[in-house]
Amino acid sequence: MKSSQIQSYKKQLAALEAELMDFLGLSSESSQAVELDQARMGRVSRGDAMQQQAMVSAAHQRDEKHLVAVRKALKRIDSDDFGFCLECGDDINPQRLDVAPETELCLDCQSLQEQRQKSQS
Ligand SMILES: [Zn+2]
């Protein structure tokens, strides 16, 4: 992969990382947003609040996982491993990386993994 390409993925990943940290309240500005949320929660019923909280924490967990994947991808860029499947070492289709630069697996390994996850549940 050309280094100019890698640099553009790196930029995308850095932007994603900042965005996710913002969602997760890891950046300094977002602590205020959390307080506002709590004030708003005061007006809804307990059941609604709990449901809302469950939804928020599910989204939170998803964002946390996403953030971990983004950071791993940034590390792979630094160690020149970016763009290769973690399972088989093949090149990951650049079209997949364009959509999600944090992609870790090639299409084959990804579908294998999804099948495995399905059969487990
Ligand atoms: Zn693979």
Please report, for the chain, the start and end positions of each structural domain, with discontinuous segments joined by +: 1-82, 85-121
Quick check: 5 and 101 in contact, CB under 8 A? no
CA of 104 to the centre of ligand 1 (A): 9
Predicted confidence at residue 45, as pLDDT, reads 80
For residue 100, give the nearest of 92, 111, 88 by alpha carbon: 92
For residues 83-111, average pLDDT: 95
CA of 113 to the centre of ligand 1 (A): 10
* Average pLDDT across the chain, whole number: 88
CA of 10 to the centre of ligand 1 (A): 21
For residues 100-107, average pLDDT: 96
CA of 105 to the centre of ligand 1 (A): 5
CA of 77 to the centre of ligand 1 (A): 18
pLDDT at residue 36 greater than cutoff 70: no
pLDDT at residue 40 greater than cutoff 80: no
Residues lining ion ligand 1 (Cβ < 5 A) are 85, 87-88, 90, 106, 109
Alpha helices in 1-120 (DSSP H): 3-23, 31-41, 46-78, 94-99, 107-120
C-alpha neighbours within 13 Å on the C-beta side of residue 90: 11
SS (H, E, C) 83-100: CECCCCCCECCHHHHHHC
- Find tokens 């602590």 and name the residue: 31
- Tell me the per-residue pLDDT of 53-62, one tens digit each, with 9 for 90 and over: 898 889 999 9
The pTM score is: 0.77
39: tokens are 């004030």
